Amino acid sequence: MALRQIVYLPEPILRKKTKPVTKFDKDLQVLIDDMVETMREAPGVGLAAPQINLPMQLAVVEYAEGEDDEENEGKELPKKLYVLINPEITKVSDEKVVGIEGCLSIPGLVGEVERHEAIQVKALNRHGQPFKIKVNGWMARIFQHEIDHLHGVLFTDKATRVWKPSEDENEETPLD
């Protein structure tokens, strides 16, 4: 496994729509492992292929369900890794929530972004097998953020307010 270079705005690939993945070979498996390692090292909870300069519909997400719940504060919860290939949001909740997001490709900025509270996604796993998943809360926010990357959309495009956190402000972990 190897760390990949994360690209930053104004890198043009971050604004381009990606192409579907069609080959599920050894090279793809190495790429997925590299993306996971890069995401963890950054550190982030998600990483999309355009962020490492690849125009393909691939994202990785790793997050512990319930990590932000008050009753779990201070607990080390097991994280779950998701590989999303050619993902598509198929259902969204009517309810939307505003939350603070950051991005590994836009370091030093955070913003308030309104997202659906719950979504359903269909995608392929790392072996090309289809799956569906329903996610809500922070996990739904992460999935929406990463899928946006695959369409050339950044959190700053959807934010109602963007700012540079002050040193004494508790900066959130970037979503990706």
How far apart are the C-alpha atoms of 67 and 77, rounded to whole Å?
7
Domain ranges of the chain: 12-163
Q: How confident is the model at residue 77 (pLDDT cuts 50, 70, 90)?
A: confident
Prior bond of 10 cis (ω within 30°): yes
pLDDT given at position 170: 54
CATH T-level topology, domain 12-163: Peptide Deformylase (3.90.45)
Over residues 53-78, mean pLDDT:
82
Which of 20-34, 54-68, 139-153 is least confident? 54-68
> Alpha helix locations (H) across the chain?
26-41, 137-149, 155-158
Active site residue 146: yes
State the catalytic residue, choosing from 114, 146, 167, 172. Answer: 146
- What is residue 143's three-state secondary structure? helix
pTM attached to this predicted model:
0.92
Q: Give 131-161 pLDDT, tens digit per residue.
A: 999 999 999 999 999 999 999 999 999 999 9
Q: Give 38-55 pLDDT, tens digit per residue.
A: 999 999 999 999 999 999
Average confidence score pLDDT of the chain: 93
